[in-house]
Amino acid sequence: MSGLCARRLRTSGLRARQLRTSGLRASGLRTRRLRAAVAGAALAGALLAVSGCASSVDPIERLGRKAAERMATPDATTVAEGTAARISGHAD
């Protein structure tokens, strides 16, 4: 046996003993990985939910602006028509 193989065997035995004594067996590692994955998924879901609520404000604001543009002014033109007339120079 070469020196490298013997050292690997000693190191792997030491690592196995450390895992046994610290209580981190293979099932414990799997549990930790599973918990980390679940926590990551929960965090991603929360971030998506928060950003989804923020993006729903834009269409509501656009609807409000469009409704305001459609409102009639005292001379029976809409705000948009009045603006277009002023820009084109056909205002009364």
Instruction: Tell me, yes or no, whether 84 and 61 share the same domain.
Output: yes
| Residue 4 within a domain | no
Residues in Cβ contact with 24 at an 8 Å cutoff, skipping those fewer than 6 apart: 32
C-alpha dihedral (64, 69, 73, 76), degrees to nearest 10? -120
Half-sphere exposure (CA, 13 Å, Cβ side) for 47?
6
Domain of 51, in residue numbers = 25-55
Higher pLDDT: 14 or 32? It is 32
State the total domains in the chain.
2
- The verdict on 32 and 46 lying in the same domain is yes
Question: Given this model, what pLDDT does residue 46 score?
Answer: 85
Considering the domain architecture, whether residues 63 and 50 belong to the same structural domain is answered as no
- Band (pLDDT 50/70/90 cuts) for residue 49 is confident
Average pLDDT, the chain: 69
Looking at the domain assignment, is residue 72 inside a domain? yes
Euclidean distance between CA atoms 64 and 40, whole angstroms: 38
pLDDT attached to residue 86: 75
The answer to the question of residue 64 being in a domain is yes
pLDDT digits (tens, 9 = 90+) for 29-46: 888 899 999 999 999 888
Question: Looking at residue 38, what is its pLDDT?
Answer: 94
| Same domain flag for 49 and 66 | no
Residues 61 and 72 in one domain: yes
Residues 51 and 80 in one domain: no
Per-residue pLDDT reduced to its tens digit, 67-88: 766 666 566 566 677 777 777 7
Q: Does the residue 62 lie in any domain?
A: yes
